[in-house]
Amino acid sequence: MLGAITIPGHPEEVATARRFVAKTLAGHPQADTVVLLTSEAVTNSVVHTASIMVGVVVLETPTGVRVEVTDEGGDTLPTVYEGSELREGRRGVFLVEELSAACGIQTHADGLTFWFEL
């Protein structure tokens, strides 16, 4: 594990997650993309769930980097929208899916983990 942080589930804390990932991956060739995708994933957590806390884990993989964003879950799962549906508030998961090598969702008793790899 390269690093982990737990932040309050408030919109103003998304910047904290971005700074953490940027510092954790300083000098990494894909750091900017990882920061962007982390921002989208954490924003999704704080906007679409009632999570009190959101966890962000940065892992090294054999081929790159994996980020896991864990929250307490919500009424729906993250959804990819296409075409004309990509209005404000519906672009985050689309960006993650388009820019990452892989992404997915793991549900568990305490909520869900949205992950992506580059």
Tell me the CA distances in angstroms from 106 to 15, 27, 48, 65, one per residue in order.
24, 29, 16, 18
pLDDT tens profile 34-70: 999 999 999 999 988 889 999 999 999 999 999 999 9
Q: How far is CA 2 from the centre of its chain?
A: 16
Q: What is the pTM of this model?
A: 0.89
CATH 3.30.750.24 assigned to 3-117: no
Q: Is the pLDDT score of 78 beyond 90?
A: no
Q: According to the model, what pLDDT value does residue 14 have?
A: 97
Q: Are 77 and 94 in contact (CB under 8 A)?
A: no
Based on C-alpha coordinates, what's the Rg of the chain?
Answer: 13
Sheet with strand 3-8: strands edge to edge: 3-8, 53-61, 64-71, 111-117, 102-108
pLDDT tens profile 86-110: 455 557 788 898 899 999 999 999 8
